[in-house]
Amino acid sequence: MTEATGARVCDGGNLGIQMIIADPHKPSPCQERPARSSLLWFAALIAVTTAMRWVFASVLELRTDEAYYWTWSKENTLSFLDHPPMIAWFIRFGTSIFGDTNFGVRFAGLLAMPISQLLLADIVRRVTRDMRAALLAVLMMEAALYYGLLMAKVAPDTALIPFELAMVWSLVRLTESGDARWWLAAGLFGGLSLLSKLTALMLIPAIAAFILVPDWRLRWLRSLYPWLAVLIAVVVFSPVLIWNGMHDWASFRFQFVRATAAHDFNLRTLGDYIGLQLGQVGPVLLPVVLFAAGLTAWRGYRHRDPVAVLLSTAVLVPFGYFFWKSLTLRVGDTWPMFIWPLGFAAAAIDIAMRPRESWPAWMVKGSIFWANIAIASGLCIVVAVFLYYTVSPWNFIGKTDPIGGEAGFAQVASRAESEMQNSGATWIATTDYRVYAMLRWHLRDRVPVIQINERSRFLSFRDPGLDRIAGHAGLYVAREPDDAAILASTTAVLTPLGQVQRVWRGRVMDTYVLKKLSGWTPDLSPPPVSPFYKWRQLAEDRAVYRHVVLADTVR
C-alpha cells in the first residue's frame, strides 16, 4: 500500500477516530497516534455514556431477576441452583457500600464495564499495535445496547464478561511473550468465569483450537503449564463443585435439562433470537461483527494465528449453538451477552489488518464506513432507549415492554402489607420466584416471604423465620391467572381478599390475587420427589416461560 493510499483511507473516519493503519514498521502520518481532537471527543463520549449508565442504574426499578439475585446476596451459601455465586458476591459488594438501593445492587456491574473496556482495548492494542483500533473496539462496546446501557443491569453475564476478557487477555500476553506462566493467569480467570456463569464452558472449543491449531501444539500439549491452568480453574470453581456434591449435583442436572430440553421446531423463537441480537448489539453493528468474525476465522485457521483462532471460535461457536437452540426454544435475553465483546475485538483487529494485507482500497474504505455507521447508529439507539426509560412519561410498547413489564411492584408490595395487617397474616406465600423476589426486595424482609414450590431454588438458604410461619395464617399472592393447583393436595384453605394491579405509566401490566392462607404450614425442605421441590420441571418451565408470557399478553 502506498503512503498516499494510506492517507486517503485514514481520511474516512467521521467520528474523529482514524482507525486504519499501515504496517507498524513503516509509520505513516496517520499511524503515529490518534489526533488530539479525536481523543477529546472519545473521552467526552465515554464520560457521557458512563454517566448515562449510572443514572439508569439509579432511577430504574430493579427487574425481577435482579431482585432474585439480591436475595442470594443475603445468603451464606457456596452456590445456587440457577447459577454460580459470583453475581451474589457482586451484589453484596455493592450493597455493603451503598446499601440496599438500586445503585448499590448494580454498582459492581457498573464497575465491570470500564474494567471490560480496558481489557478489550489492551487486547486489540497488543495485537494491532494501534491505539486507534483499540479505541474503535471500545466504541463498539459503547454503541451496543447490551453494554452501552444494559451493563447497568446486574446479571451473571455482567460478572462473566470482565473475567472472560481477562482470560483472553492472558492468552494474548502468552502469545505475545511466549512466557508459559501466563497460562496460570488464564486458568485463574477461567475459573472466575465459571464461577460467574456456566456458559463460560462454551469458550472451551476456542481454547482448544488456540492450543491445537497453531504450530505450537506439541509444545503446549507437552508442557505442564496448560494442565496447571486447568487445575487452577477447577480449584477456583470448587465452591460450585462442593455445593453440588452436597446436593446431588442439582445445578448441573438442572442446566443439563435446560440445555437438552426438546421442543417443536419454531420459526418464531428463531426470529426472537435474531431480532434480539439485532436490537441488543445493533442492526448494523451485528452484521459488521459477524462478517469480521468470519474473516478472522478464515485468517486464523489459514495462517494458524493463535489469537485470530481464539477470538473467531469464541464468537462463532456460541453464536451458532444459540442459533441452533433457537430453532426449538426461546434463547434468553442475556445468554449470548458474553459473545460480543470478543466479537468487537475481532472486528477492530480485522479492520486494522486489512490494509496490512493489501486489501483493495475500496474494501478498506468500506470497512471504515460501515464501522462508523454501526457506531453512530448504535449510539443513537442507546441514547434513545436511555431517554425513553428515564425521561419519557409514555408507554409505547404496552405489556410486552421489557423494562416496564417488570416495573410497578411497589404497588403490589404495599397492598400485600396492608392486607396482612387486616387479615392477621404473619407471612407471605407465593408460587413464583419473581413475585417472591420483588416482595422480599420491597418489604426488606420485614415479614417472611416464602415461595412454597420450587424449593430446590433455596437449598442451603437460612431459616426465613419458621416460628412466624408454623401455625400462623399467611397471605397468598399470585399473578393472574392464579394457579394454586399445587395446594389442592394439602390442608391449606384459601380465602379471597381481593386483587391488586401493577401499573406502569398508566398501563395495567399485570393483576395479582390476594388470598388468606390458613390451615397449612409449608415444608421448606421437601424431598426431591415432592412436587414442592420439582427441579426438573422447573428447568423445562424456565426454558419456555417468556414465550408463554408473551403469548398471554398478546391474547
pLDDT above 90 for 306: yes
416: helix, coil or strand? helix
First and final CA of the chain: distance in angstroms?
60
Backbone angles phi, psi at 370, to 5 degrees: -70, -30
302 pLDDT band, cuts 50/70/90, is very high
pLDDT digits (tens, 9 = 90+) for 136-152: 999 999 999 999 999 99
Peptide bond into 205 cis (omega under 30): no
**Cβ(466)–Cβ(472) below 8 Å:** no
pLDDT above 60 for 411: yes
User: How far is 217 from 8, CA to CA, in rounded Å?
Assistant: 41
Smallest Cα–Cα separation from 77: which of 463, 454, 539?
463
pLDDT above 50 for 106: yes
Which range, of 166-180, 197-211, 389-403, 538-552, averages the lowest pLDDT? 538-552
Q: How far is CA 463 from the centre of its chain?
A: 30
Report, as an integer, the average pLDDT of 117-130: 97
pLDDT above 90 for 553: no
pLDDT above 70 for 4: no
User: What integer best gives the mean pLDDT of the chain?
Assistant: 89
Domains of the chain, residue spans: 28-390, 404-554
1: helix, coil or strand? coil
What is the pLDDT at residue 35? 75
Kindly state the helix (H) or strand (E) to which residue 518 belongs, with its residue range: strand 507-518
pLDDT above 60 for 9: no
pLDDT above 60 for 20: no
In this prediction, what percent of the chain has a pLDDT beyond 90?
A: 77
pLDDT digits (tens, 9 = 90+) for 467-490: 899 999 999 999 998 768 889 889
Q: Which three cell numbers stand for residue 111?
A: 464497575
**Cβ(168)–Cβ(123) below 8 Å:** yes
pLDDT digits (tens, 9 = 90+) for 360-388: 999 899 999 999 999 999 999 999 999 99
What is the pLDDT at residue 46? 96
Report, as an integer, the average pLDDT of 333-338: 93
Smallest Cα–Cα separation from 311: which of 364, 274, 349?
349
Report, as an integer, the average pLDDT of 185-202: 97
Q: Which three cell numbers stand for residue 353?
A: 489488518
CA angle 523, 526, 527 (to 5 degrees): 160
pLDDT digits (tens, 9 = 90+) for 482-514: 768 889 889 999 999 999 999 999 999 999 999
537 pLDDT band, cuts 50/70/90, is low
Report, as an integer, the average pLDDT of 66-85: 96
What is the pLDDT at residue 536? 57
